[in-house]
């Protein structure tokens, strides 16, 4: 049975050709009195990236027992179309099968002139300004959903999720890599928050919108804060949003999910979402600027052995992968070892061992620094 303060609803995010509704479950914890920032956490927008559901399970178990000060909305299984898109033993679900567009690049970019908007509303107090700006973001989402020309399947799903996200002050989008170690996408203004999560590597991202949920959440608020600053007003960025990459896809690990739920609880405790004091895990944490996060593409096709361990520093002389070419046996191309031009920390690699020329084999951090 659900706890008294926990409500479950479903929202409809689309319809299948045969008419069945595509729905997403929403769990909402509502305290009697609200004094803390509201929280929105979603998981599994990419079909194979299931571990976030286990983290939400572990969060629910803890949040149900907590004395909450905030409304907390938890949305597992956020992309029914993607999650159900199986091929053989594998889940595809990274790209909309109709358009080929990445499901996490479909969020609405708010293209209105924020400077003009600010000048019109600058006489308001911070609280009113923030509430009105939030309304503006929400009405842009509604406009996209109600466009008389319609909107695509992917944009409809994304905008329904975005609408819920915009109502929160803290937004977490739970993903995984293909084969990956844990890492966090964190906007530059929020870097000190990276120290709360149980995640060793953080990508520090600038204020650029490329269609992802976290960017859709923080970009307009960051811009608003910058515009206010230009006009001599100190307005902190009202929303904090992160993408958490919780290791590899096609994997559920409940014990590990507890570790990540504990990290999230430490951050939420710091933000006064609930009363108990929760400390972050004592562990080293490292960062890398997004511009120094490099992709390594296969220079040739072949069968790959991924040699570099994820999350472990790799010097430039050490091999990253070996490339087996059984069509070239007996030549000097039968087995090649490939390394990178610089020292790095490999963060994730391609999931398959058979690769075409040009496949994105690894993503690695370079110029890594310690976060304190
Ligand atoms: Zn993802």
The residue from 283, 304, 322 where one domain ends is 283
State the pLDDT at residue 372. 85
Q: What is the DSSP track for 209-271? A: --S-HHHHHHHHHHHHHHHHHHTT-------EEEEEEEEESS---HHHHHHHHHHHHHHHHHT
Q: Kindly state whether residues 311 and 253 are assigned to the same domain.
A: no
Same domain for 120 and 19, yes or no, is yes
| Residue found under tokens 């509604």 | 142
Q: Which of 264, 283, 302 is the last residue of a domain?
A: 283
CA 51 to ligand 1 center in whole angstroms: 11
CB 359, CB 298: distance < 8 Å: yes
> Could you tell me the distance, in angstroms and rounded to a whole number, from the CA of residue 176 to the centre of ligand 1?
5
Q: How far is the CA of 43 from the centre of ligand 1 (A)?
A: 9
Classify residue 301: in a domain, yes or no: yes
pLDDT of residue 2: 62
43 close to 55: Cβ distance less than 8 angstroms: yes
Residue 230 Cα to ligand 1 midpoint, Å, equals: 35
In a domain? residue 339: yes
243 Cα: distance to centroid of ligand 1 (angstroms)? 9
User: Do 245 and 304 fall into the same domain?
Assistant: no
The length of the chain is 372
pLDDT of 30 reads 95
Query: Does residue 322 sit in the same domain as residue 236?
Result: no
Instruction: Determine the Cα–Cα distance for residues 242 and 191; give it in Å rounded to an integer.
Output: 10
Q: Does 1 reside within a domain? A: no
For residue 99, the domain's CATH number is 3.40.630.10
CA 158 / ligand 1 centre spacing (Å): 13
Cα of 82 vs centre of ligand 1, distance in Å, is 11
Q: What is the pLDDT of residue 72?
A: 98
Q: How far is the CA of 351 from the centre of ligand 1 (A)?
A: 13
Residue 249 shares a structural domain with residue 298: no
pTM of the complete model beyond 0.85: yes
86-87 and 345-349 strand pairing: unpaired
Contact at 8 Å (CB) between 172 and 263? no
Distance 49 CA to ligand 1 centre (A): 6
- Ligand 1 centre and the CA of 249: distance in Å? 9
Dump strand ranges (E) for 105-181: 170-177, 179-180
**How many structural domains compose the chain?**
2
Q: How far is the CA of 276 from the centre of ligand 1 (A)?
A: 31
> Are 145 and 233 in the same domain?
yes
Where is the domain boundary, 230, 253, 283? 283
CATH number at residue 330: 2.40.50.100
Asked if residues 99 and 155 have their Cβ atoms less than 8 Å apart, the reply is no
Decide: 314 and 218 in contact? Cβ < 8 Å.
Answer: no
Show the domain range for 359. Answer: 291-370
Tens of pLDDT, residue by residue, the chain (372 residues): 566 689 999 999 999 999 999 999 999 999 999 999 999 999 999 999 999 999 999 999 999 999 999 999 999 999 999 999 999 999 999 999 999 999 999 999 999 999 999 999 999 999 999 999 999 999 999 999 999 999 999 999 999 999 999 999 999 999 999 999 999 999 999 999 999 999 999 999 999 999 999 999 999 999 999 999 999 999 999 999 999 999 999 999 999 999 999 999 999 999 999 998 999 999 999 999 999 999 999 999 999 999 999 999 999 999 999 999 999 999 999 999 999 999 999 999 999 999 999 999 999 999 999 998
Is there a single domain that holds both residue 279 and residue 320? Answer: no
My answer on whether 169 and 80 are in the same domain is: yes
């Amino acid at each position: 049975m659900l706890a008294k303060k926990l409500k479950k609803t479903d929202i409809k995010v689309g319809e299948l050709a045969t008419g069945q509704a595509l729905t997403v479950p929403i769990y909402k914890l509502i305290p009697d009195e609200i004094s803390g920032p509201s929280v929105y956490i979603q998981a599994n927008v990419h079909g194979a990236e299931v571990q976030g559901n286990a983290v939400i399970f572990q969060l629910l178990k803890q949040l149900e027992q907590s004395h909450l000060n905030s409304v907390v909305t938890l949305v597992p299984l956020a992309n029914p179309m993607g999650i159900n898109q199986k091929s053989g033993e594998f889940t595809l679900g990274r790209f909309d099968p109709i358009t080929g567009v990445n499901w996490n690049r479909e969020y609405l970019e708010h293209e209105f002139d924020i400077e003009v908007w600010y000048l019109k509303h600058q006489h308001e107090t911070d609280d009113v300004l923030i509430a009105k700006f939030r309304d503006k973001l929400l009405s842009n989402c509604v406009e996209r959903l109600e466009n008389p020309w319609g909107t695509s399947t992917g944009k409809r799903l994304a905008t329904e999720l975005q609408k819920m996200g915009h109502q929160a002050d803290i937004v977490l989008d739970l993903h995984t890599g293909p084969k990956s170690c844990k890492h966090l996408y964190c906007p530059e203004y929020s870097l000190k928050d990276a120290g709360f999560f149980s995640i060793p590597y953080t990508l520090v991202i600038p204020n650029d919108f490329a269609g992802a949920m976290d960017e859709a959440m923080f970009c307009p608020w960051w811009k608003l804060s910058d515009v206010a600053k230009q006009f001599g007003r100190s307005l902190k960025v009202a929303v904090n949003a992160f993408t958490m990459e919780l290791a590899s896809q096609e994997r559920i690990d409940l014990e590990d999910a507890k570790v990540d739920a504990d990290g999230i609880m430490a951050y939420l405790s710091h933000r006064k979402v609930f009363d108990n004091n929760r400390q972050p895990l004592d562990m080293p944490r490292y960062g890398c600027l997004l511009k120094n996060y490099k992709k390594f593409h296969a220079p040739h096709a072949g069968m790959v052995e991924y040699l570099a361990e994820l999350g472990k520093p790799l010097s430039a002389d050490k091999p990253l992968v070996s490339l087996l070419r059984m069509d070239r046996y007996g030549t000097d191309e039968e087995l090649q070892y490939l390394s990178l031009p610089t020292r790095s920390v490999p963060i994730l690699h391609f999931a398959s061992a058979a690769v075409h020329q040009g496949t994105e084999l690894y993503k690695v951090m370079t110029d890594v620094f310690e976060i304190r």
